[in-house]
Amino acid sequence: MFSLNRSAFLNNPASISGSFPDKHRRILPTRVVVAGSSNRDKSNGSLLMATDESTATLKEMRDGYAEVVDPKSGVSGGVQDVYGEDTATEDQPVTPWSVSVASGYSLLRDPHHNKGLAFSEKERNSHYLRGLLPPTVISQELQVKKMLHNIRQYQVPLQKYMAMMDLQERNQKLFYKLLIDNVEELLPIVYTPTVGEACQKYGSIYSRPQGVFISLKDKGKVLEVLRNWPEKNIQVIVVTDGERILGLGDLGCHGMGIPVGKLSLYTALGGIRPSACLPVTIDVGTNNEKLLDDEFYIGLRQKRAIGQEYAELLHEFMTAVKQNYGERILIQFEDFANHNAFDLLEKYGTTHLVFNDDIQGTASVVLAGLISAMKFLGGSLADQRFLFLGAGEAGTGIAELIALEISKQGLIVSSRLESLQHFKKPWAHEHEPVKELVDAVNAIKPTILIGTSGQGRTFTKEVVEAMASLNEKPIIFSLSNPTSQSECTAEEAYTWSQGRAIFASGSPFDPFEYGDNVFVPGQANNAYIFPGLGLGLIMSGAIRVHDDMLLAAAEALAGQVTQENFDKGLLYPPFKNIRKISAHIAAEVAAKAYELGLATRLPPPKDLVKYAESCMYSPAYRTYR
């Protein structure tokens, strides 16, 4: 296998246009066309490559495979393997390109191409692997079985997490195959709740860079920092500043576990290529005294920068991202504290392709659950009464999207109006102040109770019983993460409502047996939405995120819920079908982008679901000839 040495290109892009030597004809396109300076930033080394037939254009040449792109529309036709027999040899530098061959020991150390014991006899011969591997050749399926067996041996979830991270850094395809094939078992490991503990201990378990850290020390050099990341063709960035990590508070630089986890899901659940995903943590300090005193803390040891200093670093980052990766780079804001989250979204929502997962992704997933609840229970959203515990990003984001759907108002007491943060004000209501949640439930008589407070066990027995006395089928969402912060457990919801609650939670709970029934609690987590939303945005070349896309994503998700799911107590389809679900979400989001004139990849593909599926990354090994 090979990678193109881009130094010549970087030095003098205009000079590079010519043919590869004959011996590479089978493995490389014959004509190299440097992307026009008008539509590509030369400095990141991006290039277009035309195939022999000139019917399609190979772009984003990287480590042995390339994306096939229709030259007229710019629409991607998926990733194509460009390995060939000739790559098996140690090539000499070729002018103007040089081809370096990853083989032998370095091939086994390269997580993108390593196949471990799955290298065939032929590959072992041609890639200098003889003696570096024991004689047995096994299939990827057997490797998955073995890894799963090993992971199941660990009793402690954090150990399972570390084993997964280790695998990701050793053999990327095996990591994704394992995760995709066993998503229900492993999601709680690479994602909530275990990722929360991993962030709390990130300094201790940190071994290798999984993303880019941008700290106050990098002010003025953010673009350079981004260029240090080895992958150039980034399509999605998940960025945090670590100030509100799940419901665990300010974890500073240790928040990196969150973008890493979210992007693993972009690939496993939404099919975005791993090399197109970039986790970023912006380190402006932390106000977490415990971390500042922790000898294993890996971030800046200072209080958080605020005001202009904060805004300037963020602005430099946002500008550099667009400069480096172009107009259509998707940026997902994740786990920022609410005093920055809403402002950042407002500031960059009109200039960048951005969304805030906690505000918008969560809103979309909850709306989907409510739409499916209405579908199976009867009634309309407009007839419901909603009570939220927690009027922050998730709570007000959900309220806003529901309101968009039904044009209804929220439930904050307006006597506090003066002192309220701006994002809470639209939801202020005329009402006597109430101290206890149970009193609010009895006074407001909600049909739907939504917990987004980040405070564990706040839906007490009294609260759930009050909901159950008011409603035949009380709908209760305990959205706060991780499990320790969930407003109530599945067991509590079902027991205290005598098996009548329709319950969903942000972090997973096991099925619960109550009386003659086994209830399977749904997981109301934005992980259902952002991978499909992101795929839809990317495949349509969207330039902005629009609220209608979030509504479309919610409808698409709700459309995947069956009567059979609901009969088990589920408001969401099982995660095991998530790639199919994501394809449907992506298709609806892309359709909306085309409808709104926000899509740039034209003309639109005829069958958007099929197209979404065809764009998805496959974790199956390639044959290296």
In angstroms, what is the minimal distance from the CB of 476 to ligand NDP?
Answer: 13
In angstroms, what is the minimal distance from the CB of 494 to ligand CC(=O)C(=O)O?
Answer: 23
Out of 218, 335, 492, 588, the residue judged to bind Mg ion by CB under 5 A: 335
Tell me whether residue 29 or residue 361 sits nearer to ligand NDP (CB atom): 361
Active site residue 580: no
What residues contact 147, with CB distance under 8 A and at least 6 apart? 163, 167, 174, 178
Tell me whether residue 66 or residue 265 sits nearer to ligand NDP (CB atom): 265
Tell me whether residue 197 or residue 334 sits nearer to Mg ion (CB atom): 334
Out of 67, 243, 250, 358, the residue judged to bind Mg ion by CB under 5 A: 358
H or E segment to which residue 277 belongs: strand 277-283
Residue nearest to ligand CC(=O)C(=O)O (CB): 481
Write down the number of H helices and E strands in the chain.
24, 21
H or E segment to which residue 68 belongs: strand 65-69
Is 251 within 8 Å of 200 (Cβ atoms)?
A: yes
Tell me whether residue 246 or residue 493 sits nearer to Mg ion (CB atom): 246
Residue tagged 């053999």 (tokens): 171
Interface region with Mg ion, contact rule CB under 5 A, candidates 315-323, 328-336, 371-379, 428-436: 328-336
In angstroms, what is the minimal distance from the CB of 335 to ligand CC(=O)C(=O)O?
Answer: 5
Residue 597, φ and ψ in degrees, nearest 5: 75, 25
Tell me whether residue 250 or residue 334 sits nearer to Mg ion (CB atom): 334
Is 236 within 8 Å of 538 (Cβ atoms)?
A: yes
Looking at the chain, how many residues does it have?
625
In angstroms, what is the minimal distance from the CB of 192 to Mg ion?
Answer: 9
- CB crowding 562-577: b at 16 or more within 10 Å, else e: eeebbeebbbbbbbee
In angstroms, what is the minimal distance from the CB of 485 to Mg ion?
Answer: 12
Tell me if residue 195 falls in helix, strand or coil: helix
Selection from Mg ion, ligand NDP, ligand CC(=O)C(=O)O, none that 200 binds (CB < 5 to 8 A by kind) is: none
| Whether the bond into 135 is cis, omega within 30 of 0 | no
Tell me if residue 81 falls in helix, strand or coil: strand
Interface region with Mg ion, contact rule CB under 5 A, candidates 95-103, 334-342, 364-372, 590-598: 334-342
Which residues on neighbouring strands pair with residue 478, listed in sequence order?
451, 505
Catalytic annotation, pick one of 173, 177, 201, 262: 262
Considering only CA atoms, give the Rg of the chain.
25
Selection from ligand CC(=O)C(=O)O, ligand NDP, Mg ion, none that 556 binds (CB < 5 to 8 A by kind) is: none
Selection from ligand NDP, Mg ion, ligand CC(=O)C(=O)O, none that 391 binds (CB < 5 to 8 A by kind) is: ligand NDP
Residues near ligand CC(=O)C(=O)O (CB under 6 A): 192, 246, 335, 357-358, 481, 506, 525-526
In angstroms, what is the minimal distance from the CB of 455 to Mg ion?
Answer: 16
Of the candidates 413, 415, 410, which has an alpha carbon nearest to the alpha carbon of residue 426?
410
Catalytic annotation, pick one of 161, 176, 191, 611: 191
Residues near ligand NDP (CB under 6 A): 244, 246-247, 338, 358, 362, 365, 389-395, 452-455, 458, 479-481, 485, 506, 524-526
Active site residue 262: yes
Of the candidates 454, 496, 486, 470, which has an alpha carbon nearest to the alpha carbon of residue 385?
470
Asked if 393 interacts with Mg ion (CB under 5 A), we say no
Tell me if residue 301 falls in helix, strand or coil: coil
Selection from ligand CC(=O)C(=O)O, ligand NDP, Mg ion, none that 261 binds (CB < 5 to 8 A by kind) is: none
In angstroms, what is the minimal distance from the CB of 515 to ligand NDP?
Answer: 28
Residue nearest to ligand NDP (CB): 392
Tell me if residue 601 falls in helix, strand or coil: coil
Tell me whether residue 394 or residue 556 sits nearer to ligand NDP (CB atom): 394
| Four-point Cα dihedral 482, 487, 491, 492, nearest 10 | 160
Give me the DSSP letters along 365-396: HHHHHHHHHHHHH---GGG--EEEE--SHHHH
Tell me whether residue 278 or residue 391 sits nearer to ligand NDP (CB atom): 391
H or E segment to which residue 534 belongs: helix 530-540
Is 345 within 8 Å of 353 (Cβ atoms)?
A: no
What is the C-alpha to C-alpha distance for residues 476 and 411, in angstroms, rounded to an integer?
17
In angstroms, what is the minimal distance from the CB of 551 to ligand NDP?
Answer: 17
Tell me whether residue 250 or residue 335 sits nearer to Mg ion (CB atom): 335
Tokens of 64: 């042995």
- What is the set of active-site residues? 191, 262
Residues that bind Mg ion (CB under 5 A): 334-335, 358
